[in-house]
Amino acid sequence: MNFNTALLHNNFRGDTSTGATVVPVCQTSAFAHESAEKLEAVFNSKAFGYAYSRISNPTVDSFEKRMAALEKGIGAVACSSGMAAVTMSLLNILQSGDEIIAGSGLFGGTLDLFEDLKAFGITAKFTDDVTPESIEPLITDKTKAIFAELIGNPKLNVVDVKAVAELAHSHGIPLIADSTTATPYLIHPFEYGADIVVHSSSKYINGGGNAISGVIIDSGSFKWDASRYPGFKGYEKFGKLAYLAKLRDRKSVV
Ligand SMILES: *Cc1c(COP(=O)(O)O)cnc(C)c1O
């Protein structure tokens, strides 16, 4: 399946219950089940199904699967905006005392977020050019993430993903890439070593400029060691899916 076909058909073969040929919009907060026991099982992730749209919803699920397929990731979590995606991609792994290293030419909302995170004890260190040479001197024991926009908005500066990912991994640090401006049409950041990709899908991915949304996609390749990332305690059993399980807040079962 090539790019244009995958855009339309990946993970979606029509709705078998209604015959709809495009993804129906399920505009509902909650989902009914035949018994309280079934609902409880779904709610506790012990049975497949939908319970509440903040956690999952067939329309959102279809978008997440499609984005994961386009980025060649193991899964995705959709968010209410690109800023929600950027924020949650970091808060899912960080705690007070941690440091982030980031490019300085970032989207304004992300720069504001990094300023706001100071109040929670999370510090961002900035580098004008996101290169291994400029990042390495900024790395400390507290560095828990490197964050870069692959094509910066607004400067359009381009990051050498492979070189930066290699440096990050040599220090046991994940690379979180904001690929909003690049889109999966231009690059698959996971093929060059990025660990997590975020998008503001309000931009090219929406395409029509009529809705705000964001998405976080996981490569599944970073090992979230709970001794370095204490929030992952209890999530080890999810293996490669630990980051996504934590993000969706599913401690019990997949
Ligand atoms: C727009 C944008 C965001 C924020 O996304 P919203 O959907 O506006 O919240 C984040 N990163 C980049 C690179 C953007 O262009």
Task: Indicate the domain borders of the chain.
Answer: 1-54, 72-251
Residue to mutate (ligand 1; options 153, 156, 176, 201; most atoms within 8 A of CB) = 153
Contact 81 CB / ligand 1 (< 6 Å): yes
Fold classification of 72-251 (topology level): Aspartate Aminotransferase; domain 2 (3.40.640)
Beta bridge partners of 123: 99
Contact 146 CB / ligand 1 (< 6 Å): no
Instruction: Tell me: pLDDT of 42 over 70.
Output: yes
Q: Which atom of ligand 1 is nearest to the CA of 109?
A: 4
Contact 205 CB / ligand 1 (< 6 Å): no
Considering only CA atoms, which residue is closest to atom 8 of ligand 1?
A: 82
Contact 181 CB / ligand 1 (< 6 Å): yes
User: What average pLDDT does the chain have?
Assistant: 93
Q: How many CB atoms lie within 10 A of CB 212?
A: 16
Considering only CA atoms, which residue is closest to atom 5 of ligand 1?
A: 82
User: pTM of this prediction?
Assistant: 0.95
**Residues 6 or more apart in contact with residue 132 via CB below 8 angstroms:** 163, 164, 166, 167
Task: Please give the average per-residue pLDDT across 168-180, as a whole number.
Answer: 98
pLDDT digits (tens, 9 = 90+) for 71-123: 999 999 999 999 999 999 999 999 999 999 999 999 999 999 999 999 999 99
Q: What would the two tokens of residue 74 be? A: 């193991």
Contact 107 CB / ligand 1 (< 6 Å): yes
Q: How far is the CA of 131 from the centre of ligand 1 (A)?
A: 22
Residue 144's identity, in one-letter code, is K
Residue 100's identity, in one-letter code, is I
pLDDT digits (tens, 9 = 90+) for 206-237: 999 999 999 999 999 999 999 999 999 999 98
Contact 99 CB / ligand 1 (< 6 Å): no
